[in-house]
Amino acid sequence: MSIVQKIKHYAWIVIQYFSLIFFSFVALLPIVSCVITAFKTEEEYQTTNVMTMPENWFNFDNFIEAFQKADMGRAFINSTIILIFVVAGSVMIGSMLAYVLNRFKFPGNGLIRSLFLFATLLPGIAMQVSTYQLMYRLHLINSLLGYIVLSMGTDVIAIYIFIQFFENISTSLDESAYIDGASYMTIFFKILFPLLKPAVVTVMILKGVGTYNEYYNASLYLSSPELKTVALSLYTFVGPLGSKYNLICAGVIISLIPALIVFLLFQKQIYSGLTSGAVKG
């Protein structure tokens, strides 16, 4: 390598690492500053700069107070119930629909596919005007059931992930099972569904994180206090508590922990799931 090349080589390395460190810092700064503040006592929060480290990193008082004030115990139970049903429902509905659409030719197959595709173009928030009326008439406002059904009914991405996955499973498998006398029900549940495992994991994670973080529909349809989800419970801090950021930050951090755990455990699946969901076009 000539000297010029060497300089170029090292300059590029410096630029690379500088960019990575800088943008990681940008990404983490808002969160880290929140963590710092969450550990501060009231007095520290009032007197020190926000970026000054707290004196005691084991001061969990804010977390305890935030957890109680926002009734987050209740909220975690609600979120868990919603998650279980929405995720299980989406996996079942999505995989069954994908099976039928992928394996059988029947009139209307194309039409149904386009119906689901077109639905992705309709922005959910825009439709709330009439969805709210519908939910009102069905007596599904302020009911966990209503919110669960609504969340399952407006999911399309799961279906695409499953259809993609089915395309890679050979039909000869179904064929030989059918010849051996298995019913379509058996073929789906006993043979194909177990093979879908990677897709199921992907859908569970993506749908799970999405449902856990959803707040717009939840704020419309789960407004009574005992039905609040974790994201919604943070609304407790709007109003009189609105300037007690040591408390608010603690609440925010608590609400992030489940997402963080899932992220640390399933990083690879999240990345590949997003990638496979995005290429559908």
Partner 1 sequence: MTRTTPFNLRKWLRGRKGQQAIIIVLFMAVPLALLLTFTYFPFAEMFKFSFYKMKYVGEREFIGLKNYIDVFKRDDCFQALWLSVYYMCGAVVQLALALYLAAILSFKVKGGNFFKGCMFFPYLINGIAIGFIFKFFYTRGFVFDTVLQWFGFELENLPYWLKDTSINNVSLVATSVWKYFGNNMVLFIGAMMSVDNELYEAAMLDGANKWQQFKYIMLPSIKTIVMLNLIMSITGSLSAFEPPFVIMSGGANGTATYFVKMHEIAHTSQKVGLASAMAIILLLIIFAATVLQKLFFKYVFKDGEDEDVNAAKRREKKLAREKARLKRRG
Residue 60 CB, nearest approach to partner 1 (Å) = 19
State which residue, 27 or 77, has the beta carbon closest to partner 1.
Answer: 27
Residue 58 CB, nearest approach to partner 1 (Å) = 22
**Largest separation between any pair of C-alpha atoms in the chain:** 78
State which residue, 68 or 183, has the beta carbon closest to partner 1.
Answer: 183
Residue 267 CB, nearest approach to partner 1 (Å) = 6
Residue 61 CB, nearest approach to partner 1 (Å) = 19
State which residue, 55 or 175, has the beta carbon closest to partner 1.
Answer: 175
State which residue, 130 or 224, has the beta carbon closest to partner 1.
Answer: 130
State which residue, 227 or 249, has the beta carbon closest to partner 1.
Answer: 249
Residue 69 CB, nearest approach to partner 1 (Å) = 14
